[in-house]
Structure formats: C-alpha cells, structure tokens
Amino acid sequence: MTDAANPLAPRGPNKQPTLWEYISNDVRTLAFLFLLPTVLVLTIVVLYPFFYALVLSFQDKSPGVPARFIGLKNYVELLSDNDFQEIFYNTVWYTAVAVSIKFIIGLTSAMVLNQKRRFNNVYRTILFVPWAVPTVIASLIWLWVYNEFNGLLNLVLVDLGFLEYGTAWLAEPKLAMWSVIAVVVWNGTPFYTMHFLAGLQSIPKELYEAAEIDGAGELHKFWHITIPSMAPVFTITVMLSTVFTSTSIVVVNILTNGAPANVTQILPNESFSITIEAGRMGLGSAINMVLFPFLVVFIILLTRRLLSKEAN
Amino acid sequence: MALTQKQSKTLVRGVGGVILFILIVWTLAPLYWMLVTSLKNNTEIYSADSTFWPVNPTLDNYRTLFQKTNFLIYFRNSLIVAAVTTFFSLILSALGAYALTRLRFPGRKFFARALVYTYLMPSSLLFIPLLIIIRGIGLQNSLEGLVFAYLGFTVPFCTWLLMGYFMSIPIELEESAMIDGCSRLGVLFRIVLPLTVPALAVVAFFSFTLSWNEFIYASVLVADTDVRTIPTGIPNFIVEDVFFWGPMMASTLISSLPPLAVYFVFQRFLITGLTLGAVKG
C-alpha cells in the first residue's frame, strides 16, 4: 500500500511534516518533553537533597560555615548518647501505638459506616472532617482542649466528678505521650476509615449471602470474609501510614516539642530542633539517617505493592 | 448464648449505632470547643467555671485577629502558595502521567518506580539539604521558594493518582481520534483531559490541601513575617500574647475553612477517586 493510496494521509505524499507536527507525533520526543519538567523539579527538590542529606550526615556543618568531613563522628555521638536511645525507643513506640489505634478506630468507623442507616452520608462526611483539618490547626485546637485550667477535657472531667482539679495532660510524664498520640489519632484516623470503607464496599455481597445461607453469624462472617478480603487494603494502608506517622513532626512540635524531659520527643522532631535551634545540620541529618533504613524496608515493600496493584 | 441470625443482626446494628454516636462526639468535640471559644470574651474564656457555650457571644476575637495581628498576611500568602502550587502540579502531573501511561518509551517502568520512591520520601529527611539548596538558588524567604519545594511532594503524588485514572480510559478512544488525524497533543487536550475532569478535581484538591497544611518546609525556608504562611504564622500568637486563646481559636477556625470548603465541594469525586488510587494523609 502506497502513501498515495492511504486514505488516512490527507496531506498527500510530498508534503514534509513541520517540526511541530513531527514533535507532536513522535512518541519518544513527546515522552521526553512531557517528563522533563517533572524530572527537573524532582531532581532538584527530592533526589539531590536526599543524597545531600546522606553526605551531610558525615559532615560537621553549621549555617553559613563551610562543611567539614568528620567521617562517622555524628553517628558515634548519637549511638553513645542515652537521650538518643530514649528518643529512638519513643519513636518506635509512638509509631506502633498510633498506627494500631488508628487501625482499630478506622476499621470500626468503616464497618459502622458500611451498615445500612438513614443519613449515612451525613455521618460519613462528619467522620472524615478531621482529615480536612490541617495538622497544625488540629494541634493548636487540641493544645487548648488540653489546657490545664480552662481546657474542654478538664472542664468535662471535673464537671462529671472524675477529677477534682484539672490535669496538665501535656506536662505529666505518664500522660504526655498518650495525649500526643490522641491528637495524631484524631487527625489521622479518617485516612484509614476512607481506605477501609472503600475496601469494604468492594467485597462482593454474594460472599455474605452465601455464608448466611450456611447459617454463619456476624462474628463468623467478620473473621472469615471481611478480614481476609481486606488483607491487601490493610497492608497498604498500614505501611503508608507508618511512613507518614513516623516522619511527621507537626503534632509533637506544637503540643510539647519533646517535653517533659524528652518523654514525647521523636527522631524527626529531634533532628528539627538540633538543626534549627542548635544549627548542627550534619548531626541533624545523621539522626534522620538512623531512622531511614527502617523506612526503606517499608518504602520498597510499598512500592512493589502499589506498582503491582496498578498493573492489575 | 445462642442468638438467631436475625437477633445477632439487630444486636450488631444497635451496637453500631452507639459506636457511631461516640465517634461523632469524639470527632466534633474539639471543633465545637474551637467555635465556642472563638465566640467568648476573655472573662468567660478564663473564668474558673467556664461554660460549654458562650454566655454573651461576641465577635471581638475576630476583630482582634484581623486588626491587631498579621493573620491576613499569612492567609493571603497561604492562598497564593496553595493556588500556584496546585496550578503547576496539575500541568506537570497531567503531562507526566500521560507520558507514563500512554507513550511507549525505554525506561518507562523505571520512571514509574522512581515516582513512588520520591512520593514516599519524607520531608523531615529532606528539609536540611533543601534549606541549603533553596538558599543557593536565592529563593530563601520567598513564596516562590515554598512553591518550588512543595512541588517535590505534590507532583509525584498527583502524577501517581492521575496514572490510575488515565489507565481507566479506553485507549480505543484515543486511537480512533488519531486515525481521524488528531495529533498526540490534540488527543491529550481534547480527549483525555476532558474525560478526567473528576480526577483533575481530586488532584487539585490534594495539592491544595497538602500545600495549605505544610509545616516543615515553611518553618525552615521562610522567616520574615510578610512571607509567612498560616502553619508557621499562627503558632507564633502563643509567643506574642498572653491572652491569645480567643483570637487563636478564631484564626484556627478561619484557617480550616478553605480546606473544609474544598472538601465539601469535592467530596463526591473523592469517594470514587479513593477506590482508584492511594491517598496521602
């Protein structure tokens, strides 16, 4: 078949395509042009900073002063520091507890919202609201709720007779971390609820109907249909949330900034304080790098999961 | 205890109702407290027996906020940064997602993978070198610098979301348009993008709220009052004044309105969008 005979070549065989026509139809050139801005931006603000952070962790660097290579000294300083060990332990504990509670409340919320009920749309909208409230704002609101003398929490507890005086929720060593976690949970649970609700709604109704015909009760259906069907959603949600929860500094930074005596301090916020307040950028980077290997495991597993999900 | 299927169903529904009630109270209580506080005068806020509602509702806190603080500057800056970031994220991610889902070229898989890695890279790890880099290119203490830094997390996430949507559009539509003489660019702008308006809405929603909420970069890259955004501006009220809780709650209330408004408008799209892609939160 010649070009002249091809009805799909309307311009005739002799007409050379203009440069513009050439570019807009050549797949490789087009792909290059489309991806170029994204690649440029991400190289400058993500990729390069990442390697830079790695290099910084082996340096002694203050703002405005040239960097000096000091090998592993930052890491040695950290590992021999008792405070650092405590903060490391705090980070793991805080992340594990916050993620678990968000998981439980999120699953409960999703299952309750998945029941047939009048005005369900309204309830769903309400339960998702904290997710749309910026974390800084949520932290400030809760700072006021926790206020020792005039906060809502103490007012309610004293009015109901549970307490005689207000408690300093954020200053009491035994309560401080729990108070911080409560805010993380309040702000972060809707993320779980959304994922879980979407997951629940994609379970085929026939599975439940068949089980009911076989005489299965509610608990049986929950353990043998709901939980197994949701396993992939559980994994992705928990992994994503673990990465975001363990690296987010906002709630800790605003509520306590690590007080009392490092009880609520977590690694990313410690890195933030060391870098900004003490001006030790190298040591600050090293703190983050200690957490990073743990994150890498999650990040690699997650990437694999997300990509295989996309391929389906 | 043996329950019939019908009884246990009723029981589960009843328990569900009680749980739902508790969840709603837990969700709304802090927000209610914010609203109530913002409407009280100082005497009521700090009295030994505070009430759960304003006895003499007043807008004084809002007046103080607008007249005596820099709140309006922060608000304006946040709006500019969020809007401009959203604009660029939309363009970059639409182009990128189209290339990654529809154009066959070597290294496509690698780019898709790299995108997820960058999306998961925590900003608490990147802020130290980023501070040096942004200073190096002379964008410190500027809204441009913030927008540039924010593209680092909005673009990977938005591209990722859009890829999912693009793949759900039947490729035959594009093929037949190209047979009719439409160029690749024509296909993208006349066929793919109009079909993905709901997806673009979701993407716009995410980049707007993510930029509106951002805290770490905003606190290190920007120091001057006239370029501060809400997340780093209003926590400073604590330092500036002793009796600040009234204006503070007024400011948190107003600052929650833009993301909440966007949330209510886009809700319909969000729920469908969620089943298709991941959500950052």
Mean pLDDT of A178-197: 94
User: Would the CB atoms of A137 and B255 count as touching at under 8 Å?
Assistant: yes
Which one of A40, A65, A112, A122 makes the best mutation probe of the B interface by having the most chain B beta carbons within 10 Å?
Answer: A112
ipTM of the complex: 0.89
pLDDT attached to residue A304: 81
Residues of A in contact with B26 (CB under 8 A): 186
Q: B183 and A25 in contact by Cβ < 8 A?
A: yes
Residue A164 pLDDT exceeds 80 = yes
By C-alpha distance, which of B85, B80, B77 is closest to B231?
B77
Residue position matching structure tokens 């005689």: A164
Going by pLDDT thresholds of 50, 70 and 90, the confidence category of residue A7 is very low
Distance CA B267, CA A129 (A): 11
User: What pLDDT was estimated at residue A182?
Assistant: 97
The conformation of residue A40, written as its DSSP 8-state character, comes to H
Q: What average pLDDT does range B146-157 have in this prediction?
A: 94
The DSSP 8-state label assigned to residue B55 in this structure reads S
**What CATH fold (topology level) applies to the domain B70-276?**
MetI-like fold (1.10.3720)
What per-residue confidence (pLDDT) applies to A14? 57
Residue in A closest to B165 by C-alpha: A310
Q: Where in chain A is the domain with CATH 1.10.3720.10?
A: 77-311
pLDDT at residue number A287: 93
The pLDDT tens digits for A222-273 are: 999 999 999 888 988 898 899 899 999 999 999 999 888 899 999 999 999 9
Instruction: Average the pLDDT over B16-40 and give the result.
Output: 95
DSSP 8-state code for residue B226 = G
Closest chain B residue to A43 measured between Cα atoms? B152
A/B interface, count of CB pairs below 8 Å: 285
Q: How far is B59 from chain A (nearest CA, A)?
A: 18
Contact A302 B120 (CB under 8 A): yes
Following DSSP, what letter does each residue of A97-159 receive, concatenated? Answer: HHHHHHHHHHHHHHHHHHS--TTHHHHHHHHHHHHHS-HHHHHHHHHHHT-TTT-HHHHHHHH
Residue A97's pLDDT is 97
Give the separation between CA B28 and CA B57, rounded to whole angstroms.
20
Task: Give pLDDT, residue B225.
Answer: 87
Instruction: Cite the residue boundaries of each domain of chain B with CATH code 1.10.3720.10.
Output: 70-276
Considering only CB atoms, which chain B residues are within 8 Å of A38?
92-93, 95-96, 155, 159
Quote the pTM value. 0.89
A260: preceding bond cis by omega (within 30 degrees): yes
- In this prediction, what percent of chain B has a pLDDT beyond 70? 93
The pLDDT mean for chain A works out to: 88
Looking at domain A77-311, which CATH architecture does it have? Orthogonal Bundle (1.10)
Least CB-CB distance to B126: which of A30, A53, A105?
A53
Mean pLDDT of A190-216: 89
Place of tokens 């549970």: A162
Question: CB–CB of A274/A280 below 8 Å?
Answer: yes
Using CB atoms, which residue from B114, B179, B234 is nearest to A140? B234
